[in-house]
Structure 1
Amino acid sequence: MSHILCRATRLMSTSTMQRAASKSQQPYPFSSTALTPDVHHIPPTPSLRQGKGLMEYLQQTLPTAEKREMLSKLFDRNSPGRLLPGSIVTVLSEQAPTSFTGVLLAIRRRGQDTSFRVRNIIQRTGVEMQFFPNSPGLKEIKVIRKPPKGRMRRAKLFYLRDSPEKMSMIAGGKK
């Protein structure tokens, strides 16, 4: 019974498509059921041709020269002053003048979508925050202390979530 119902639906939808094809759409040459819509070219308006609107928005939202310098210094793999997992960093945000200090757990380099995670223990509760350096709300990133012994053995320090003793040793610079 369901087989007959599916076949009837398929036939009905094909006939509907063929009627639509005869009105305003052309059939696709490699399939009798696929349709391609007619493309109507709409010329750009004079203001769009001059770049008004979009260019103003891009100029306001693009990072400033100082921010670009900070990003290249802290997040470029070949920079000597780059952020390393295990560093103690302070992140200042612009919306509410607040700062968050903690151990840098991980850096995720993805071009414009680059982010990093910072973890701290506040009132015996682990608090982790993810920051996007390209965000206009991020004001400044300060490196308080580099990781102990120059660098950590792992790129992602998520194991520190389970052992607050190790995290406090890193924060204290004893490891």
Structure 2
Amino acid sequence: MGEKMIVYEPLPKLRNGKNLMQYIQEAQYEKFDKNGNKRKSISLSNPERIRADDIVTVVYKNQKPVTGQVLMVKRSGLNSTILLRNKITGLGVEMNIPIYHPNIIRLDVIRRPIKYKPRNRHYYIRNSRLDVGEIGANGKN
């Protein structure tokens, strides 16, 4: 009666010195961002990261590239997104782009502002005098 019966083999607590969630997250980064360029492009420690107010082109595998001004960068692991705004025939269009989507090849910064605005989310530019013009693939209005 004093003997314990083993119902199942206990799971290992660490995988390569990491807990389960860190291990899974790094496996997902390896799958969706093999060379680490996307992770580096939004890392807060990188001075050349993508920031709000940059003009960015998103290059896809099987469709035309998308260009726009970054309104917001949401950093939340594999769910990180950027919100791009452009005007197409005078109508403001916003696209929420998931950075780690498998069809995205790379993110190219076309133009950076001379001086960044003091906020990191630029929702206030919508329908104001600060709103973006039509941005072509070369970054010109």
> 2:124 maps to what in 1?
159
Q: Matched residues, percent identical?
A: 28
One-letter amino acid of the counterpart of residue 167, structure 1: D
Give the match for residue 47 of structure 2: 80
Please name the residue that 2:106 is paired with: 140
- Runs of 4 or more, structure 1, over 3 Å off, are none
How do residues 6-155 of structure 1 correspond to structure 2 at under 5 angstroms? 62-66=31-35, 68=36, 70-94=37-61, 96-149=62-115, 151-155=116-120
Take 1:42 and 1:98, find their aligned partners in 2: how far apart are those partners? 52
Report the secondary structure of 1:159's partner residue.
helix
Bigger Cα Rg: 1
Q: CA RMSD in A?
A: 2.5
| Separation in structure 1 between the aligned mates of residue 65 and residue 50 of structure 2, nearest angstrom | 17
Task: Please give the alpha-carbon distance, in whole angstroms, between the structure 2 residues aligned to 1:93 and 1:127.
Answer: 18
Counting matched residue pairs gives 112
The unaligned stretches of length 5 or more in structure 1 are 1-40, 44-57
Q: How far apart are the structure 1 equivalents of 2:33 and 2:50?
A: 20
Q: Secondary structure, in 3 states, of the residue corresponding to 2:131? A: helix
Considering Cα pairs closer than 8 Å and 6+ residues apart, tell me whether 1 or 2 has the greater RCO. 2
Offset, 1:161:
1.4
Return the alpha-carbon distance in structure 2 between the equivalents of residues 129 and 115 of structure 1: 10
Name the structure with the higher helix share: 1
**Letter of the aligned partner of 1:63 in structure 2?**
F
Gaps of 5+ in 2: 1-6, 10-26
Task: Report the TM-score when normalising by structure 2.
Answer: 0.69
Superposition deviation, residue 71 in structure 1: 1.9
1:97 alignment partner, SS class:
coil
* One-letter amino acid of the structure 1 residue matched with residue 130 of structure 2: K
The amino acid across from 2:125 in the alignment is L
Task: Provide TM-score, normalisation by structure 1.
Answer: 0.56
1:64 CA drift (Å):
4.4
Conserved? CA contact 2:69–2:132, under 8 Å: no
